[in-house]
Amino acid sequence: MFEPIEYADANDDVRAVFDAIKSTRDIPDVNNFWKYLANDPATLKRTWESLAQVMAPGALDPLVKEMIYIAISMSNNCEYCIKSHSASARKQGMSDDMLKELMAVVGMANETNALVNAYRVEVDAALR
């Protein structure tokens, strides 16, 4: 449907975002996600700026945010998202043991979410 757009073939708006991603992350080239979004420069720019805002350090550590991101992507079965954010989390210090525990929680949360739906569990008065 759409092909990834390389830096050499990109217009100035796209190059400006690519440059921002590369300098922020200190990487020589951007991932395919950005090259596909480059087909729609407005969405590229908005998504990069939103992501930069959302994933920035704040009350939560950036690594914790990456792990939440990975968990959602596993639950949604988005292979690309799992792999790209796992690579990013690795750089920020996620160990194998941390990833394994994360995966166990993802599995368990999906099981208990399903059990809650199945039993139609009513919210406790104390939790409302």
Q: List the one residue from 8, 23, 26, 124 that touches its own copies (CB under 8 A).
A: 124
Does 18 bind its own copies (CB under 8 A)? Our answer is no
d(CA 41, CA 49) in angstroms, rounded, equals: 12
Q: Is 32 in the site for its own copies (CB under 8 A)?
A: yes
d(CA 116, CA 51): 32
Q: Is 45 within 8 Å of 13 (Cβ atoms)?
A: yes
CB of 30 to its own copies, least distance (A): 9
Question: Which listed range, 6-14, 17-25, 45-53, lies at the site for its own copies (CB under 8 A)?
Answer: 45-53
CB closer to its own copies out of 19 and 83: 83
For residue 17, give the amino acid letter.
Answer: V
Q: Which of 16, 20, 22, 36 binds its own copies (CB under 8 A)?
A: 36
Nearer Cβ to its own copies (2/19): 2
Judged by CB, which is closer to its own copies: 23, or 53?
53
Non-local (6+) Cβ contacts of 89 within 8 A are 63, 66, 67, 70, 99
CB 11 → its own copies: shortest distance, Å?
15
- Positions in 60-99 near its own copies (CB under 8 A): 60, 64-65, 67-69, 71-84, 86-87, 95-99
Is-contact 18 45, C-beta < 8 A? no
Angle at the Cα of 27 (from 102 to 87), degrees rounded to 5?
Answer: 15
